[in-house]
Amino acid sequence: MIKSYIWPLGNRISHVLMILLFAASYLSGDEDELLSFHAVFGISLGVLIIFRILWGVVGPKYSKFSDFDFSIKNLVVYLSSVFAKTKAHIGHNPASSWAIIAMFIIGLLSILSGLLAYGVGENHGVFAFLHSIYFKDTEVFEELHELLVNVFLAIIIAHIAGSLIEKFVRGGDSIKSMVTGYKNTETAVDTKTSLFGKIFQIIWILVAVASFVYLLGIKDNIFIKSENKAVDYEAMNVDFVNECASCHIAYPPYLLPKKSWSVMMNNLTNHFGDDASLDEKTRLSISTFLQKEASENSTSEVALKIQKSLNNQNQTIIAITKTPFWKAKHKDIDSKVFLSNKVKSRANCQACHIDIEKGLLDSELIDTKNIKAVL
Ligand code: HEC
Ligand code: HEC
């Protein structure tokens, strides 16, 4: 057996970075307060995949797609004798050839759908312009993203399982070769990288690292940037801020639908046990303002989700904290946190959502220090 250099350094560094970035994006995907980091990990993974695809066109032997084994017949033969010690493949075997192509395609589609969800739903990033255009169902993109990511994960698991079988059952050296670059081959194979190939690999890794640092370091970069603008409720209706933000924070009107505001405004003498009654002129002024700014007239994803969550309720809910959407979003937070000195009440949103009085509920504006202080 001869030791042959099969995988150039670019492949191997990129392989490790892809694993790390997939793991990081997968793990941060469920946490709202990590959403911008999640986006950074995902986009950086996309950069690596795009370079790896280009490398599949211009790279050396075995890295090139034209050297992958896409024959269905070979795939069937390979899979049906997967536990047998058949001849080792120098480059990618048929199963990993298909898995790699599938991971690249599904991976890129996952990232694209993630960017769409980020733009349409959260008004962030390159697709933020869609936020105000398409607003009947923002969850479609989120669901599509989740579906694609799960398919991506399934292929990754199959790929890992395949590599483990290859190593432990067939006695192959593929896993080791992804670290060292070398494989044992029967005949000498020459995969010398050209000068162009060397430069390409340097650019590949440099651009990947630079884009990661840029995305992480420059908060206002076009892929992450929030297009949600601070709202000055005082300028919109001074009565609202004067009267409705004296006992508690000014709740952004888009957090409740018209009906809830109307029920609340028609019973201010008994307002959560307090008397919040107003003279008729002020009441009407605030009422009109709340109707105009209610969730039905907002393109915000939160507004849509609150409305949706209220669709099947029999009675009219007038507390944001009593909406199924709010409850679901905060179900993992211990009640001790809400009762703590720093927070005091579920309704004291500002303890965790720093800029809520400016109408901003972006995920990166969630401050978890009050939560951590209690736990
Ligand atoms: C006299 C004090 C007072 C005034 C004035 C007042 N509120 Fe309240 N409001 C309360 C209290 C007390 C609660 C219950 C807070 C809690 O659960 O911690 C409450 C709760 C709310 C909630 C529900 C918060 C949640 O749990 O989701 C909304 C919405 C609200 N008020 C809107 C208004 C509006 C609109 C006005 C102006 C018309 C107003 N409030 C004026 C005392 C007041
Ligand atoms: C003790 C801290 C705390 C308080 C108080 C609190 N929140 Fe939250 N909120 C969070 C955290 C943490 C999350 C992220 C939950 C997650 O996804 O894991 C969150 C998520 C949300 C979301 C979802 C954001 C999104 O993009 O999907 C909304 C909307 C929201 N909160 C609104 C409110 C409102 C309105 C209030 C007050 C009535 C409030 N919250 C009070 C901590 C808090």
* Cα distance between residue 25 and residue 259, in whole Å: 39
Tell the residue nearest (CA) to atom 11 of ligand 1.
272
Angle at 6 between CA 4 and CA 11, to 5 degrees: 150
CB under 8 Å to 216, separation ≥6 — which residues?
A: 37, 40
* Cα distance between residue 32 and residue 149, in whole Å: 17
Ligand 1 touching residue 251 (CB < 6 A): yes
Ligand 1 touching residue 9 (CB < 6 A): no
Neighbours of 337 (CB within 10 A): 20
Ligand 1 touching residue 286 (CB < 6 A): yes
Ligand 1 touching residue 349 (CB < 6 A): no
Residue whose CB lies within 8 A of the most ligand 1 atoms, among 234, 238, 248, 265, for a mutation test: 248
* Cα distance between residue 217 and residue 43, in whole Å: 14
Write out the chain's pLDDT in tens, 375 residues.
Answer: 788 888 999 999 999 999 999 999 999 998 888 999 999 999 999 999 999 999 999 999 889 999 899 999 999 988 888 777 667 788 888 988 999 999 999 999 999 999 999 998 889 999 999 987 755 677 889 999 999 999 999 999 999 998 998 888 888 888 998 999 998 888 878 778 889 999 999 999 999 999 999 999 998 899 999 999 999 999 999 999 999 999 999 999 999 999 999 999 999 999 999 999 999 999 999 999 999 999 999 888 899 889 999 988 888 999 999 999 999 999 989 999 999 988 999 999 999 999 999 999 988 888 888 788 776
For residue 120, how far is its CA from the centre of ligand 2 (angstroms)? 20
For residue 360, give both structure tokens: 């901003």
For residue 118, how far is its CA from the centre of ligand 2 (angstroms)? 18
Instruction: From the CA of 362, give the closest atom in ligand 2.
Output: 26
For residue 174, how far is its CA from the centre of ligand 1 (angstroms)? 64
pLDDT score recorded for residue 173: 86
**Residue among 331, 332, 330, 323 at smallest CA distance from 304:** 323
Instruction: From the CA of 255, give the closest atom in ligand 1.
Output: 29
pLDDT score recorded for residue 3: 87
* Cα distance between residue 290 and residue 246, in whole Å: 17
**Residue among 217, 191, 158 at smallest CA distance from 90:** 191
Tell the residue nearest (CA) to atom 29 of ligand 2.
302
Neighbours of 144 (CB within 10 A): 17
Neighbours of 156 (CB within 10 A): 20
Tell the residue nearest (CA) to atom 16 of ligand 1.
347
One-letter amino acid of 53: I
